Amino acid sequence: MIMDFLKKIPAGIMIVPMFISSFLNTFFPDVMQIGSFTTAIFTSSGLVAIIGVQLFCLGTQLQLKEMVSVVRRGGVLLISKFIIGAIIGIVVGKFFGATGLLGITSLAVISSVTNSNGSIYLALMESYGDEVDQSTFSLLTLNDGPFFTLIALGASGMAVIPFKALLAVVIPLFIGLVLGNLDKKVADFLKPGCGMLIPFVGFTVGGGINLINIVKGGISGILLGLIALFVGGAFILLCDKFINRRPGYAAWAVSTTAGNAIAVPAAVALIDPSWSQYVGVATSQVAAATVVTAILAPIVTDYWAKKYGCPKYPLKNQNF
């Protein structure tokens, strides 16, 4: 009965746990902070570990011959998301100044649109994509932070992408890939782990979301979320369809705002103090965009995947 209910909701196996956790985090924040295993599993404290295990399991499912596809698909999604975020933010900043348009600061625009929620993307690709789609997660983690935001703001000389951080993301995937290619029994054994961990990803992601931030961000924050999803998503969709030759479901799945993006305005201000006066409003707007895209992206991805096809719901005569 529970599973039947979850299947009726787009990406429900992740979205429902996410909402339960975010509700508790917003209104009863002490409930899940009891400590030990409870806090580790049901709050944002366990996100890194759970995603790491999921990446390891995904790696075992990836064959070496598919690596070129991983880099190509993920690269197109990563670069196109950065380009559209930079364009929108720079245009807003140039014509309307740092204070932005309709109350949306250029700092918030770039922080929001260039950063994607990898956890949601990974969960959606488990529901609609294939192993290659899922494995592109490792590339997409590059935009989860202030680096591309700084580059878009013209501060690339001060932004050093930490190679060790990238390496740390790739290692679980790589070890899984090696083991899965050496012994298919390992791949078969760990395959259920890819889907089994999705509800826990939902719990941990929700544990870092405060629903009140939608109110704090106001109309401008909600509008920012819509821009990130529909304006950014439309551009990424075009790139995914015409460069990757894919149906586009992955483009909508990546058109979210990362939870970590909430901290990007403050990180930018630490490096370039001229942005300090805009940190407060930009942070609340990005927080609202994070929640808005987390709600809408799974719905749009579900609609697109079923209408235009995907590995899990192929159309007639459509091969993947």
Instruction: Give CA separation, 13 vs 19, 111, 199, 201, in Å.
Output: 11, 28, 6, 10
pLDDT computed for residue 57 by the predictor: 84
Q: CB–CB of 173/111 below 8 Å?
A: no
Q: CA-CA distance, 143 to 77, in Å (whole number)? A: 11
Contact (Cβ atoms closer than 8 angstroms) between residue 117 and residue 259: yes
pLDDT of 163 over the 70 cut: no
Q: Are 206 and 29 in contact (CB under 8 A)?
A: no
Band of pLDDT at residue 296, cut at 50, 70 and 90 = very high
Q: How confident is the model at residue 37 (pLDDT cuts 50, 70, 90)?
A: confident
Asked if the model's pLDDT at residue 204 lies above 90, the reply is no
pLDDT tens-place string over residues 20-36: 888 888 888 887 788 78
Specify the residue for token string 């707007």: 285
Mean pLDDT of 264-291: 77
pLDDT higher than 80, residue 139: no
What is the average per-residue pLDDT within 174-201? 85
pLDDT value, residue 61 = 76
Instruction: Give the per-residue pLDDT at 228.
Output: 94
* pTM for the full predicted model: 0.71
Higher pLDDT, 63 or 293: 293
- pLDDT category, 160, cuts 50, 70, 90? very low
Sign, CA dihedral 84-88-89-93, equals positive
Please report where in the chains the tokens 């009965």 appear, as a residue.
Answer: 1
In this predicted structure, the answer to whether residue 273 has a pLDDT above a threshold of 90 is no
Cβ-based neighbours of 167, under 8 Å, separated by 6 or more = none
Partners of 104 in the beta sheet?
Answer: 101
pLDDT at 156: 35
Mean pLDDT of the region 65-71? 76
pLDDT band at 42 (very low <50, low <70, confident <90, very high): confident
What mean pLDDT is reported for the chain? 80
Please tell me the predicted confidence (pLDDT) of residue 30. 82
The DSSP result for 209-253, as a single string, is --THHHHHHHHHHHHHHHIIIIIHHHHHHHHHHHTS---SHHHHH
pLDDT of residue 10: 56
How many whole angstroms separate alpha carbon 70 and alpha carbon 228?
24
In Å, what is the CA distance from 220 to each residue of 98, 102, 146, 205, 260? 15, 7, 21, 23, 19
pLDDT recorded at residue 233: 95
Q: 3-state DSSP helix/strand/coil percent for the chain, to nearest 5?
A: 75, 0, 20
The single-letter DSSP state of residue 65 is G
Q: Are 291 and 214 in contact (CB under 8 A)?
A: yes
Domains of the chain with CATH codes: 12-306 (1.20.1530.20)
Q: Please indicate whether residue 161 or residue 184 has the higher confidence score (pLDDT).
A: 184
